[in-house]
Every structure is written in C-alpha cells, then in structure tokens.
C-alpha cells in the first residue's frame, strides 16, 4: 500500500482542528516574562518566555485597553488565553484574554504607574481648599462599624459638640468598595450643604487599602467642591487618595481634630474678640464725640450764612452773564430774521406767477398770429390749386364743343375698337346722344 501524501494546508488544518477541539488548550493559564514588546496603537503583539521556552502572544485592542497597568519589557505577568494555530504561517500563539502583573509587586507597580499618570495630568498639583474654622456639618465616609467612626465621634464630641456629623456607611475594602466610595462622595457633592468631608479607614495591607488607590476614587476626591480630609491606614501607609485630598491626617482621631476647633478655646477667643471690640468701639465713640464737639464750635454752625455767601455772589455773576448772553442771542436772531424776510420777499412766488402769466399771453398772441398766417397761406395755395384744376377739367374742354364716346360704359379711344352696327353713347358737356356705327374708316 502506497503512502498518502498530504498537502501542507491539509496538515495545518488538521493540527488546527486538534488544537481547537482540545479542552486543555481552550483556556490556558500562563505565567512568564514579556519579551519583544513594542506598544502599538491597535492590537498588541509580544512573546511570553521563561528560562527554557517562548510562545507568541496576541492581545486585541478592546481587551488591552481595559488593563489596569502598562506592560513593559521583562515584566513578569499572569495571563489567561486560548491557544490558536495560524494556518498561513504554520505557527501557533496564545490569544490573551486577561493579563495582570504577577505577585504583590504588581500592586506596587500599578500604584506607581497610576501615580505617574496622574502626576503628568497635574491632578496632585491642584490648589488645596482650606478647611473651615467653624464647620456646621461634616460628612464622614467610612464603615459604620469599627473603631474609626467611634474615634471620630468621640474626638469631635469632646472638642466641638455643636457640629453635626453625618455618616455615609461605606464599604472600604473588597471588590465593590471603590464604586461605593465614589457613589457616596457624589451623594455628598449633590447634597451641597456640608462644610467638610472625612474619608477614613483603619490600617491594613496594600490589598486592603487598594480601594483608595483606584483611579475613579482619586478623581472623585479631586472633583469635590468641599474640602476633603483623607485618613486611610496608619501613619506609615500612603494612598493616592492622600495625595489628592486637601488635607492628610495620620489617624482618624487626627482627622477629627483637624476638622473642628476646641469649643472652650473658641469661646475664650470669642470673649477676647468681644472685649477688644468693646474697647475699640469706646475709643471710636470718644474720637467721634471729640470731632463733633470741634465741629459744633466751628464758624459753620455759629454763622451758617458764611457757607453760601460765596455761592450767592457767584450765582449773581452767572445770572448777569446769562442775561447778557440772552440779549446777544436775541439781537443775533432778530438780524437773522430780517435777512430771511428780505430773501423771502425777493423770492415771492406771486411775482414769478405774474411774469409767467405775461409770458403766457405773449406766447398765445404769437401763436394766434402764426396760425392766421398759416391758414392764409394754405387758403391761397388751395385757391391756386383749384384754378389749375379747373383749367384741366374735361368739362371745361367739352364746353368748347368737345365730346367723348363710350360703348357699354367704356370709353372708346380708337376706331380700331369699333365695328359696324355698334351702339355708341356720345357724351356732351350738357348731356349725351345715342348713335349707331354705320361704317368704320381707319385713317392711315
């Protein structure tokens, strides 16, 4: 039996089907170091290696954009994906679905990368809001159970019991804690009647405190219009929330002390201010009384008419100048009125109408004379034409004995038109005669 030779394509497709059908290759958990990594704007291509082997990896843009850290060359990572065969190249790779840094060091790395990102944006350099000296309402974002809320309440009650504390029960650890912190901060912002916000949590590991390193929490604290005091962890613990808060307190007790004054100190300070104000008012009253006494001794009160003597003289002078200017204006306007009247008389339309009437009469007379001359000329020409016409009239010629002959109403101009026996009509100046042709004689 002869062997069956497969094409490269057939073999590669067979291998691909084996890979796709293998349940162990459908979801693979790998650890290794990133190699041959160059950031691209779209999908990411790199290798994952250990001391003895290397595998190509591909991560699509949609999944890569959801990473909470920035991959770097040589970074040790944990990833989840599926093994895929690339038929055209005859190679295989792992399609990465999820990736995260390996170990606790990954959290510190993510912390450093987010801190670097927010530092470039200038989020930590925003102006810090001052805490109010005498707050009326303070919002507390922390767990409703535990020592943190008790320490804050005890300290505030001892120092400044007249302030109102409002607790927003918050999950401060775990998967849903970041979203809960952001939600409560937004509620406080929307409420809009708080003077200070305390964000507090007890100590713990970096994993326990990680909610206060989440980007959403940090950005929400920065966006608050109310001053925020951050008291997260112990004095040696530092979170990104501490960097962006307006004030950082080492402990919840310290946060409470920073948020309120001591009532006894405030009362003592108020008494001091009250006493200083009283002394100041007495001093001002004494000075104002002295000024009043001096003013009462002034000539203004003893001879008040002296205040307006100068104004009276000045008013008289102004009144006289005004009268003179009015007289000048009246004289100027009178002269101008006379000039206008003369101009109006010179341009009286009655005179123009009279001249136009005379001119119209002259034109009418000239037109009448011209028409008479024209008619006489036409009459003489017509008489002459009538005389000429009368001289040329056939009736005038016939009155001298001339006649004309017609046949059947047509004038006979030649004997060639006649035949013997034709009936003719001989027309005279005073009538006609009927005749019959007896003979036609044509003269040569």
User: Residue 164: how many CB atoms within 10 A of its CB?
Assistant: 13
Q: What is the pLDDT of residues 274-314, one digit of tens each?
A: 889 999 999 999 899 888 888 777 766 666 666 677 777 78
Confidence grade of residue 185 (pLDDT, cut at 50, 70, 90): very high
Whether residue 391 is predicted with pLDDT greater than 80 in this model: the reply is no
Q: Residue 80's closest CA among 62, 63, 103?
A: 63
What whole-number distance in Å separates Cα of residue 190 and Cα of residue 184? 10
Find the helix packing angle between 215-223 and 177-191, rounded to 10°.
10
**pTM for this one?**
0.45
For residues 151 and 24, which has the higher predicted lDDT (pLDDT)? 151
Q: In what order do the strands lie in the sheet with 410-411?
A: 410-411, 404-407, 423-428, 431-436
User: Residue 20: how many CB atoms within 10 A of its CB?
Assistant: 13
Which range among 17-26, 54-63, 145-154 shows the weakest confidence by mean pLDDT? 17-26
pLDDT of residue 174: 85
pLDDT of residue 175: 84
């Amino acid at each position: 039996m002869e062997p069956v030779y497969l094409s490269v394509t057939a073999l590669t497709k067979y291998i691909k089907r084996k890979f796709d059908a293998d349940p162990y290759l459908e979801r693979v958990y790998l650890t290794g170091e990133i190699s041959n990594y160059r950031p691209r704007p779209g999908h990411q291509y790199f290798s994952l290696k250990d001391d003895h082997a290397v595998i190509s990896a591909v991560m699509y843009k949609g999944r890569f954009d959801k990473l909470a850290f920035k991959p770097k060359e040589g970074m040790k990572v944990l990833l989840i994906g599926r093994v895929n065969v690339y038929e055209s190249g005859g190679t295989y790779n792992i399609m990465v679905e999820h990736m995260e840094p390996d170990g606790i060091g990954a959290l510190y790395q993510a912390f450093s990368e987010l801190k670097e990102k927010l530092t470039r944006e200038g989020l930590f350099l925003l102006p810090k809001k001052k805490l109010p000296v005498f707050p009326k309402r303070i919002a507390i974002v922390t767990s409703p159970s535990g020592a943190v809320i008790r320490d804050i309440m005890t300290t505030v009650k001892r120092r400044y019991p007249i302030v109102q504390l409002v607790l927003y029960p918050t999950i401060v650890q775990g998967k849903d804690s970041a979203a809960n912190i952001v939600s409560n901060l937004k509620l406080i912002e929307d409420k809009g009647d708080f003077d200070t916000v305390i964000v507090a949590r007890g100590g713990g590991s970096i994993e326990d405190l990680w909610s206060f390193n989440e980007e959403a929490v940090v950005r929400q604290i920065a966006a608050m219009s109310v001053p925020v005091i951050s008291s997260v962890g112990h004095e040696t613990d530092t979170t990104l929330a501490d960097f962006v808060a307006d004030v950082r307190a080492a402990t919840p007790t310290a946060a409470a002390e920073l948020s309120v004054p001591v009532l006894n100190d405030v009362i003592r300070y108020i008494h001091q201010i009250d006493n200083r104000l009283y002394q100041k008012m007495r001093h001002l009253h004494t000075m104002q009384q002295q000024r009043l006494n001096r003013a009462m001794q002034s000539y203004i009160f003893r001879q008040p008419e002296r205040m307006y003597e100068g104004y009276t003289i000045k008013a008289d002078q102004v009144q006289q100048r005004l009268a003179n200017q009015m007289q000048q204006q009246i004289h100027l306007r009178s002269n101008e009125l006379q000039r206008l009247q003369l101009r109006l008389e010179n341009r009286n339309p009655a005179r123009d109408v009279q001249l136009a009437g005379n001119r119209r009469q002259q034109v009418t007379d000239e037109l009448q004379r011209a028409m008479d001359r024209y008619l006489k000329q036409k009459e003489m020409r017509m008489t002459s034409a009538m005389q000429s016409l009368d001289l040329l009239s056939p009736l005038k010629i016939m009155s001298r004995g001339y006649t004309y002959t017609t046949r059947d109403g047509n004038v006979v101009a030649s004997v060639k038109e006649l035949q013997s026996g034709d009936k003719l009509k001989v027309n005279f100046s005073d009538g006609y005669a009927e005749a019959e042709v007896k003979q036609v004689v044509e003269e040569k």
